[in-house]
Amino acid sequence: MLDFFTIFSKGGLVLWCFQGVSDSCTGPVNALIRSVLLQVGFQKILTLTYVDKLIDDVHRLFRDKYRTEIQQQSALSLLNGTFDFQNDFLRLLREAEESSKIRAPTTMKKFEDSEKAKKPVRSMIETRGEKPKEKAKNSKKKGAKKEGSDGPLATSKAVPAEKSGLPVGLENGVELSKEELIRRKREEFIQKHGRGMEKSNKSTKSDAPKEKGKKAPRVWELGGCANKEVLDYSTPTTNGSPEAALSEDINLIRGTGPGGQLQDLDCSSSDDEGAAQNSTKPSATKGTLGGMFGMLKGLVGSKSLSREDMESVLDKMRDHLIAKNVAADIAVQLCESVANKLEGKVMGTFSTVTSTVKQALQESLVQILQPQRRVDMLRDIMDAQRRQRPYVVTFCGVNGVGKSTNLAKISFWLLENGFSVLIAACDTFRAGAVEQLRTHTRRLSALHPPEKHGGRTMVQLFEKGYGKDAAGIAMEAIAFARNQGFDVVLVDTAGRMQDNAPLMTALAKLITVNTPDLVLFVGEALVGNEAVDQLVKFNRALADHSMAQTPRLIDGIVLTKFDTIDDKVGAAISMTYITSKPIVFVGTGQTYCDLRSLNAKAVVAALMKA
């Protein structure tokens, strides 16, 4: 039953409407729906099947009948005009209802009427190992098959399905399903292309037999040879004789830059320079109103700071420090000290909590990197010269941090400042340690030959081979330097882990017996929490195994591999915070000029960079 039908124009004007139920019947029907039908409910909604056809017929008839009136009249005349469409609509409605009654309901298809029921049971059975029959395809390139080779079976296969009169989906008079046709096509495709791949693989194989014989000896690019005498580096050299000159490019060995003057460490990168240039450009896009709101955002005027105000900012700062390789415990202690320092402090009118905490943290970090005692090696060496004794420096640290390499860099720096250096090879444990120092000594001698210094040998290696007592070798080297008039003695020790008690005892013995003027801990800038453990246990081992009442501890730090960490410079903070000792040198490369002095403000700026 159709209750309401309306015809609109494109502008939304109602041109004609039909109401199937009068207003007098709406009240009882609505009451019936509310009281009975809504409580019982329906399992489904019965829709009118003829609605689509009725709408199309009404639209076509109304458009054709009143086309001229709709096109010529204006919108106001359409509102005032009347369209006599009642009888036509009722006729179309009656025809649509009768057509829906005549249409028979669709019945479900039975299994007997389906295509699957027509297939015999024999065609559905598949035997394991039985290959499906292949359909032979006619090709103009291939000649006709020999008669009688396969009998009548071959001739029946050679006839295509189109010419035989059978439909495409039939085989031996039996109709095949779509899935079975697809499966057979796939098998034919795999067999066809599989044979082609086998033929191509066979053709790629080379027929030439491989030559059998002995393997030719390898020839190295630098002209190495297998002579035992040439490869034997274990023959001891007489201490006191100068090393032979080096036939290598001196500029590649030395590097670029002033070797006698240490440059400050530069932590800025190309990204920072680009950001700085972009920040200097005035931003014309920002309006005055937006700039004013941005400036007033988050302001706290004349307010004393509390722990609750700083808690969220300090949490972010702590996570930022840990991400920059600062040890977790030290990051917590730094944030705690900043909170204690700022608690109760009255802020300015135009200061935010974030800027105040960040500024206080920067000041604390700069203060950590600038300890009270400053190590000035050149001044101490000149003081030792006046006392007519060599200045002794001992290098210690864990394995693989670059002790020998940075010892050579410091040797070059001292040679550039006019001091003679004796290198003591006290690493009698690692294979190749003495040969590494001998190579550095030969290169440094080539950079500073005796001819440039009035025949005086400026750098020399003191070694006694492997397996000897390191403390005894260091004592002999110091005595040798005193007799020969060397200004500085650099003692190279074996790398050792902080948990190795025997090696830590040997290191404490070396330092206690020889009493060096400076003990430098060599650590790499790549470590985070490990730096704390290394320094704490090294200092503890030196204190526990020392026989003196006031044991010698670490005096300074050499931070290596600083060129590999970008802006993650937290290891410098961790090492300095634990020992309260300064970072004397920073290694930034692989040449002798890649040695820098620490710039505390640059390190802190890189550390606080987002």
The string of pLDDT tens digits covering residues 21-64 is: 666 556 665 665 565 544 444 444 456 677 788 888 888 888 88
- Going by C-alpha positions, the residue among 468, 457, 518 that lies closest to residue 494 is 468
pLDDT at 378: 92
Answer yes or no: are the C-beta atoms of 497 and 400 closer than 8 Å.
no
- Going by C-alpha positions, the residue among 593, 588, 490 that lies closest to residue 260 is 593
The DSSP-derived string for 455-472 is T---EEEE---SSS-HHH
Q: Beta-strand (E) ranges in 387-473?
A: 391-397, 421-425, 459-462
Answer yes or no: are the C-beta atoms of 592 and 255 closer than 8 Å.
yes
Give span(s): CATH 3.40.50.300, the chain: 377-602
pLDDT at 382: 94
Q: How many residues does the chain have?
A: 610
Ranges in the chain, pLDDT < 70: 1, 11-12, 21-48, 72-81, 102-106, 120-176, 193-261, 266-303, 348-350, 528, 610
Which CATH code, of 3.40.30.10, 1.10.150.120, 3.30.450.60, 3.90.470.20, is assigned to 4-101?
A: 3.30.450.60
Annotate 431-463 with b (16+ C-beta within 10 A) or e (fewer). eebbebbbbbbbbbbbbbeeeeeeeebbbbbbb
Look at the pTM and tell me if it is higher than 0.85.
no
- Going by C-alpha positions, the residue among 259, 115, 217 that lies closest to residue 175 is 115
Give span(s): CATH 3.30.450.60, the chain: 4-101
- Going by C-alpha positions, the residue among 325, 286, 253 that lies closest to residue 566 is 325
- Going by C-alpha positions, the residue among 53, 46, 54, 45 that lies closest to residue 20 is 54
- CATH topology for 377-602? Rossmann fold (3.40.50)
